[in-house]
Structure 1
Amino acid sequence: MSATRVVIIGAGPAGLAAAAAAVSAGADVTVLDEGERVGGQFWRHHPELTDRHLQHQVGRFDRLREQLAGARVVTSASVWRIEPGRPLRVHALVGPADAAQRRGETIDADALVIATGAHDRVLPVPGWTLPGVTSAGAAQALAKRDGVRLGARTVVAGAGPFLLPVAQSIGRVGGEVVEIVEAASVATMVRGWGRRPWELGAAAGKAGELASYLGSLVARRTPYRFGAAVTRIHGGSSVEAVTVQRVDAAWRPISGTARTVQCDSVALGHGFTPRLEAAIQAGCEIGSDRFVRVGAQQDTSVPGVFAAGEITGIGGADAALAEGGVAGLAAAGVAPADLRYRAPLAARRRMRAFAARLETHRIGSGWTGWLDPQTIVCRCESVRTHVLEEFAVASSRAMRLATRAGLGACQGRTCGRSVEDILGAPIGYDRRPVLSSVRIGELAATTADPAQ
């Protein structure tokens, strides 16, 4: 009997764990990832440039790479089409994203694991298009992958525990974090993270990480401001300062609390948005919470298609590793009663308590109060707040055609949910099954080949 053919999209923690599990179960595994190297957003590294002290759980990464010896790993692979059915069929273009001659490849599979992860969500702020402003993830990538600091004096602002490793990474490459600005108040943090604290005991590894981050802040005397937000970024040709303002529980700016902080760079991170395009194109059911619905074995509503990691709910790398392990075994055809599920299922249970606490940092609806009419919301098409508000009463299609918000290169991945918040109505940007950009010539080349 031939081995089960498993294709895994994404080589971050969830994808690598899925691949290792499927290989161990005897499956014929192919891993596709659009990056130049495996590791995803979490394990951003460069073998020659990166300080290993900047890599979290690097030992786990090394072990997973060793376990991939029996898999075919294809990097710089942009999946542009998924055909559900029997067999499942995945179409990809292989080569650097800006290369003129990428080659097309079609892979048939008995099972598919989608582990496409998430990207930073950054809320628009007046001045956020100035040079020196990046997402928190980009600031960490510069440090972890290239050993480069974002600036000499950086304000890290937004919401969630991800701000801590970002600040630590910046400090380790020689940058000064002027302060960390967290939108959740102290009272909100105590209610959210202090609730049933015994549940977090199972995620003891997170306590060690937290101690490391806090120790780094204390050593560098970095202020940590709660219940506040960067509501304006100032500068001429680049960042010169920010306005930090107190916000209420709904993230509405509180009048009379503004203060100015001098800096030359800003790292903004207001949580994460799942990359749902592949799951949508495969036909997977998306829940009202805008994550892929999965069963006990990470199975989706589509037979033979499994999902793992941040697209099923934001939970961090440890949760993604556990879910990937379950998905990989299930995709390889391992029976649910098999004892090999025991470890990843236990890890998944442990990490769910941690993931649930991340709701403490949910974006408040009042954040739109710090926008002004000239704030650019859609960066690709330079659409400003007042233009969106002018067409707020129009249909979603009419609004997009009139303003071009979300019709640029990112296809709404960056601005989509912010546009919805401003308009107070769903637009459905994250339900557009556009996987990756394909040149007309590349499309013609693949469709001209009967094998494609």
Structure 2
Amino acid sequence: MSVSVLVIGAGPAGLSAAVAAADAGAMVTLLDAGDGLGGQYWRHLPPERSSVREARLHHGWPLFERLRERVAADEAITVLTEAQVWAVETTGAVTVRVLVGPADAAGREPLALAADAIVFATGAHDRTLPFPGWNLPGTFSAGAAQALAKGERIAVGRRAVVAGAGPFLLPVARSLTDAGAEVLGVYEAARPLHAAKGWLARPHRLLGAARKGPELAGYLGHHLRRRIPYRLGAAVVEARGEGRVEEAVIARLDADWAPVPGTERTVAVDAVCVSHGFTPRLELPIAAGCRTGPDRFVLVDADQRTSVPGVYAAGEITGIGGVDAALVEGRIAGHRAAGGDRSALRADLRRRRAADDVARRIEAAHGVRPGWRAWLRDDTVVCRCEEVPYGRLRDTAAATAQDSLRSLKLTTRAGLGICQARMCGRTVEELTGAAPASAADTSDQRPLAAPIRLGDLAGLATTPHGGKDTQ
């Protein structure tokens, strides 16, 4: 009897896991909340209005096409798109609760899915540090700006700046210019010496990531052709405007990311696109009982196995290492989830070591440093959903002597809005020193991973079997 494998997430890691599991003889169900395959990395126009230039707009597009065609042609792989996982139950076997249908629509089909093994490949989203004016219309996370550029061919503005930290800023700038925007500059918070130390420690190990060279060269070539300035040790520390962004204030930063007084300059813009790294999407792994490490990523062993029997994890929920890391981790997770022989993974295990090294270098060179708090004023909004300003958050925490994250959220409402702390959770923790009361009390823990209508709750399937169950 074939092993059944449920893969959640159809980005690079999930696609890779689904194909590897099928190759190892498993019956695979692949879920994604989007209306197509590719995830955030290969976000693209739908087939009914596809672009003839698609390959020019995505790095690694031929690989995506091969994976997509393989998934579509393999009878062992069942694909469910517009399939929103909203809860994971762990009484007995791990059961995944899903609603299938257009997002937020009424009457979506409820499913309860179980399998012999589950692979979480849920990815990550931008982390954006707050600054005065970041809640003005025209300020976007860099990921949102890129998603609109790649998935809808919409430029978020005519004159934009890209700021934050990490290699992701380069492809965002390219996507914006490809969509018709003028990018006035890319501002990387890490100073040159710090970035060099992070990337060039033990340089011989970079040979394992030599395949990243052409990709980097492509981005740099694009910057040179478009004459886009790239500044290290600088940041957008304020956005200004009446009703929407009209100006960005850019300052040089010291080694801890605090603004250097007197270096501020103002640039006229109508879009500010910011990303200070990524936060893994941990709701589902945490709900399943998977352990996370001090760095708040899912802990996995050499086979991508989590602390929960039969549950695997791959991609950016285990560490931010880029698409190469996601692909190789997906192959390992899918192969082992299907019961494949570990001896067939020698080459992938070597590639994963190289990808892990790149992830460590990214964190060492571009990881968030504490001086960014000097950007804030008392009226700077920290929690955008509940409009909680920094001064109120700080003063309430001090006045009540609270050190519990849960207590602080209930007192200030920071993190209790519609995004459920996805945007502000890590920031609230850092600004107040509030600590989770337990491993289950973090800004990443959400009993419901996505909003669900009360009407949908009324007709849920109750008994999973064979991978699928309907009413």
Same fold (TM over 0.5): yes
Partner of 2:358: 354
Q: Structure 2-normalised TM-score?
A: 0.92
The residue aligned with 1:17 is 16
Q: Provide closer, same or farther for how the CA distance between residues 448 and 5 of structure 1 changes in structure 2, counting only shifts above 3 A.
A: closer
Q: Over aligned residue pairs, what C-alpha RMSD do you find?
A: 1.6
User: For 1:398 and 1:342, how far apart are their aligned partners in 2?
Assistant: 48
Contact 2:59–2:215 (8 Å) recurs in 1 = no
- Mapped to 2, the partners of 1:449 and 1:432 lie a distance apart of 23
* Residue 439 of structure 1, CA deviation: 1.4
Alignment-mate amino acid for residue 127 of structure 1: G
Partner of 1:34: 33
Does structure 2 conserve the Cα–Cα contact (< 8 Å) formed by 1:136 and 1:156? yes
Mapping 1:395-410, distance limit 5 Å? 395-410=404-419
Matched residues in 1 for 2:405 and 2:290: separation? 24
Question: Could you tell me which amino acid in structure 2 is paired with residue 345 of structure 1?
Answer: L
2: CA distance, partners of 1:447 / 1:334 = 32
Between 177-186 and 430-439, report the one with greater CA deviation: 430-439
How many equivalent pairs are there?
A: 449
Gaps of 5+ in 2: 437-441
Contact 1:368 1:421 in 2 (8 A): no
In the alignment, the residues of structure 2 paired with residue 425 and residue 86 of structure 1 have an alpha-carbon distance, to the nearest angstrom, of 34
Quote how far apart the aligned CAs of 1:435 are.
Answer: 1.2
- What letter is aligned with 2:448? V
Structure 1 residue 447: Cα displacement: 6.0
Do residues 4 (structure 1) and 3 (structure 2) align? yes
CA distance in 2 between counterparts of 1:17 and 1:102 reads 28
1:430: which partner in 2?
Answer: 444
Contact kept in structure 1, 2:94 and 2:288, CA below 8 Å? no
CA shift in 2, pair 1:403/1:425, >3 Å: closer
Answer yes or no: is 1:65 the counterpart of 2:68.
yes
C-alpha distance in 2, partners of 1:85/1:65? 34
TM norm structure 1? 0.96
Corresponding residue SS for 1:298: coil
CA drift at 1:87 = 4.0
Question: Residues 194-343 of structure 1 correspond to what in structure 2 (within 5 A)?
Answer: 194-337=200-343, 339=344, 341-343=345-347
Are residue 149 (structure 1) and residue 155 (structure 2) matched? Answer: yes
**1:90–1:268: structure 2 CA closer, same or farther, 3 Å change rule?**
same
Q: Where does the alignment leave 5 or more consecutive residues of structure 1 unmatched?
A: none
With over 3 angstroms needed to count, the CA separation of the structure-2 counterparts of 1:293 and 1:57, relative to structure 1, is: same
Partner in structure 2 of residue 439 of structure 1? 453
The range that moved more, 431-440 or 147-156, is: 431-440
Query: Does structure 2 retain, via aligned residues, the 8 Å contact 1:280–1:433?
Result: no
Q: Hey, what does 2:84 align to over in structure 1? A: 78
Separation (CA, whole Å) in 1 of partners of 2:282 and 2:408 = 23
CA displacement, residues 313-366 of structure 1 (integer Å, 9 cap, x when unaligned): 1101110000000000000011222x2x13322321221221111011000111
Letter in 2 for 1:355: A
Residue of structure 2 aligned with 1:376, choices 381, 385, 388: 381
2:142 paired residue among 119, 124, 136: 136
| CA displacement 1:210-267 (0-9 Å, x = unmatched) | 1111111111111111111111001112111111111112111121111111211110
Pair 369,294 (structure 1): closer, same or farther in 2 beyond 3 Å:
same
More displaced, 245-254 or 4-13?
245-254
Query: How far apart, CA to CA, are the structure 2 residues paired with 1:405 and 1:90?
Result: 29
Aligned residue in 2 for 1:98: 104
Query: Secondary structure in 1 aligned to 2:98?
Result: strand
- The separation in 2 between residues aligned to 1:407 and 1:194, in whole angstroms, is 41
Aligned pairs for 1:414-429 (under 5 A) are: 414-427=423-436, 428-429=442-443
